[in-house]
Amino acid sequence: MLDTASFIAELQESEIGRAMRDERVQRQRAARQVLVTALRAVGDRLRAARETAQKQLEVLDRKHRKAAEVAETAAYELLAQRQAHQHAIGALEAEQRTVERQLVAGADPAIDEARRALEARWEVARGQTIAYAEPVADQYYVSGAPVMQGFSNAAAAARICHGVVQARQRLEALKRENPDDLQAAIAAIIDAVPFAEMARVETVG
């Protein structure tokens, strides 16, 4: 009687064993063929997709380059327009400065004389600033000291100072103008400064 190993060996050598082995090999080859076929199909689809994508990318690249060229051209055109506007404005500003210099250089000396007189008058007025205090009638602190009320013309001086600053500016602007009556224009500017208010003493606190 054959043992198991001998039986298997004999079976493998038999026709039945060879048939079984061939069938197993065929199944394995069939299974692999399915995979090979699937791999080829995927490869074919991938190549087709790559070719399609490459064509589309080439189209997109051409469009992108064209758009970039158009954008660059537009940017240069906008820059040129901007520079042209700036040049025009700069030319007008230069012309304005030239005309202003001519007007200021040829301005009547009476304008500067009026400004110097105004400044001298202000120097005198600012030296007349006063401040003092007086007791308030029938009002006393707990200590018995009278309640004091302060008085000053500092607020009036401040208003005059503001008026002097504005008058200087208006006199300087007058150099760029051509009034029918220059002396009357100068007088109107000077008279607008409230020098008379220096005599006004107001309460403080």
- Residues 99-112 have pLDDT tens digits of 988 988 988 999 99
pTM score of the predicted model: 0.57
Sequence-ordered list of residues with C-beta below 8 angstroms from that of 163, at least 6 positions apart, any chain? 192, 193, 194
Which H or E element spans position 155? helix 154-174
Highest mean pLDDT: which range of 3-7, 57-61, 80-84: 80-84
Highest mean pLDDT: which range of 2-11, 25-34, 82-91, 130-139: 82-91
* Mean pLDDT, residues 19-34: 79
Collapsing DSSP to helix, strand or coil, 72 comes out as helix
pLDDT at 142: 72
* Mean pLDDT, residues 178-199: 94
* Mean pLDDT, residues 33-44: 77
Residue 42's pLDDT band (cuts 50, 70, 90): confident
Report the interhelical angle of 182-191 vs 109-126 (nearest 10°).
20
* Mean pLDDT, residues 177-202: 93
Residue 9 CA to residue 11 CA, distance in Å, equals 5
* Mean pLDDT, residues 141-151: 84
Residue 157 · residue 125 · CB < 8 Å: yes
Mean pLDDT check: name the lowest of 42-56, 80-94, 121-135, 157-171. 42-56
* Mean pLDDT, residues 181-191: 95
